[in-house]
Amino acid sequence: MFNTASGVIIPFPEQIEEKYSISENQIMFNISFEKLKAFIDDFVSNLSEPLFLIIQKPLKEKYKPNSFAKGPFKAELYYFDLGTKAQTTEVLDQYGEILLNDGMSEFGVSSHKTGDEIFIAKYKIALIFSKNIKQYFSLLDKYGITETNDLITAWDIISSEYPGERSRVVIDNKDIFYVVEALKDISPMYDSKIIDDTK
């Protein structure tokens, strides 16, 4: 059975399978929620240092109720230098529960050296970017994720008739807004910008 984060509701989740598809230098895949943290940890362990963390969150604490709410909406995109794998793992251990469960934010980890990146997008659809994507096939296989030419993700299932829902998650009185402010205190933030949140 495919599971997703507590801050996400997907219509007809039984239609989603743990599969991946390839497009040039990108892998898009579905992974059941209970495996996601371990997969990210394994991915990070294979990255070349120095590393950085990407977080995209709503500009304000006013959330879209679903994918078809009227916009326009704005989001903030942050880049935090984390340096080592050890520091990255520490941050993910400390704030991962919020990052993984929150339905309104997106995040990723990337290497400054190679550009290899894992990004967890809306509805927890996972993306890997690399100039050598073949190196990650064995990792996908380890987690039982197999290749397909017809990948079905939450983005394919959601419609105006059956909208998905994404909500803010609060754990121990902390949310994604808290996480961003906390990271500003412990990690160099080398860039941030306001962007259109279109999807």
pLDDT reading at 44 higher than 80: yes
> Looking at residue 160, what is its pLDDT?
86
pLDDT class of 74 with cuts at 50, 70, 90: confident
CA angle 77, 167, 27 (to 5 degrees): 55
pLDDT class of 132 with cuts at 50, 70, 90: very high
> Looking at residue 133, what is its pLDDT?
96
Question: What interhelical angle do 33-45 and 85-101 show, nearest 10?
Answer: 160
Alpha-helical runs (H) found in 132-175:
137-142, 154-157
Across the range 128-152, mean pLDDT stands at 97
Please answer whether residues 29 and 140 qualify as being in contact, where contact means their C-beta atoms are separated by less than 8 angstroms: yes
Length of the chain: 199
pLDDT class of 69 with cuts at 50, 70, 90: low
Candidate from 77-91, 140-154, 182-196 with smallest mean pLDDT = 182-196
**In angstroms, rounded to a whole number, what is the distance separating the alpha carbons of residues 40 and 118?**
8
This prediction's pTM = 0.92
Q: And the tokens for 47?
A: 């990255």
Check residues 149 and 160 and name the one with the higher pLDDT. 149
What percent of the chain shows pLDDT beyond 90?
79
- Calculated CA dihedral for residues 170, 108, 41, 90, nearest 10 degrees: -60
pLDDT reading at 75 higher than 90: no
> Looking at residue 68, what is its pLDDT?
53
Candidate from 95-99, 175-179, 194-198 with smallest mean pLDDT = 194-198
pLDDT class of 63 with cuts at 50, 70, 90: low
